Amino acid sequence: MPRSPKTPLHILVVHGESASAVASTVQAARHTVKTVGQMEEAARFLSQERFDLVIAPTGQGNIGPLTSAAQRHGVPLWIVGSHEALSQMGEEAAAVDEFLQSPIVPVVLCRRLALYQERRDFYRRQTQLENLLRENASQDPLTRLPNRHFAMQHLQLQWQLFRRKMVPFCCILCDLDEFKRSNDDHGQRFGDKILRSVAHVFKSKLRAADLVCRYDGQQFFILCADTEAAGARQLAERLRQCLTHLDLPKEVHLTASFSIVQSDSTFHSPDHMLKEAEDALSEAKQYGPNQVVTQQPQ
């Protein structure tokens, strides 16, 4: 398998005895370089521009501001000089990531840059993979909606907010009527298309503060923040109407049943709310379908 092309490094070089040799070697290795005259100036540049690496000489003034800035912005600091000069740096030497012996040997510097570049690209790819795995762990692969586990975490947060400040919220459950029959008659791919279409409709109609997830099979869960039952019912009715106008074959008549439960002090947990929403959905399916049922707290 071919390797991914390496991304060039962007390097900040502080002027010094070896600065020209360092800059020439960096450019010859196809990296980009910016040079500055003083340590303090280099420290300011780190807050203005993103660099992959800083290379500075010893004996060019107070290195403290540069070491602090490099650590603050997460930029590795390489020092050029003699071993004696490094030993004289005292506590500042602890902030140095690499030491380059002066005078600079271009071949050695190129090799170190190449190794650093490989490590940096490896960790970037690793971070991207971890982010992708984290995203997939909280996302339904078919509809690309958040999955049930992710939604339940947000439900817990809304519940805590309600308990502390009495900010109301509503849970809406939706079940697609006769979905299994459509799936059996037209095949699973057709059923998957319906689920993706429904997910698209729901995402396009909700506020940014609301959350919709695929709850279970052909069921969807909507969490409406800072909303009372009347507002949630208006939303559910609007969604119910939208689903009847999806672009589907003439013989397929998609409808959905909805249940709504508003947060209330008589509920002792989020699970209790969900249980009430599930019971109300069963009632809607029993006496419907294609209707919205609002569950009143007992």
Measured CA to CA, the distance from residue 146 to residue 136 in angstroms comes to 9
| Residue 2: per-residue pLDDT | 43
Tell the CATH superfamily of the 10-135 domain.
Response regulator (3.40.50.2300)
| Residue 292: per-residue pLDDT | 93
Q: Which CATH architecture has domain 148-295?
A: 2-Layer Sandwich (3.30)
**143-165: buried (b, 16+ CB within 10 Å) or exposed (e) per residue?**
bebbbbebbbeebeebbebbeee
Within 166-296, residue ranges assigned H as helices are 179-186, 188-205, 229-243, 270-287
| Residue 124: per-residue pLDDT | 81
| Residue 133: per-residue pLDDT | 65
Nearest to 207 by CA among 228, 230, 234, 225: 225
Sign of CA dihedral 239, 243, 245, 247: positive
Helices 188-205, 179-186: crossing angle, 10 deg rounding: 140
| Residue 297: per-residue pLDDT | 62
Residue 23 CB contacts under 8 Å (≥ 6 apart), including other chains: 13, 33, 35
pLDDT band at 296 (very low <50, low <70, confident <90, very high): confident
Average pLDDT of span 172-195: 89
The listed range with the strongest mean pLDDT (95-104, 185-194, 255-264) is 255-264
Q: What is the pTM of this model?
A: 0.60
Measured CA to CA, the distance from residue 219 to residue 195 in angstroms comes to 9
DSSP structural state of residue 145: S
Domain positions in the chain are 10-135, 148-295
Average pLDDT of span 169-195: 90
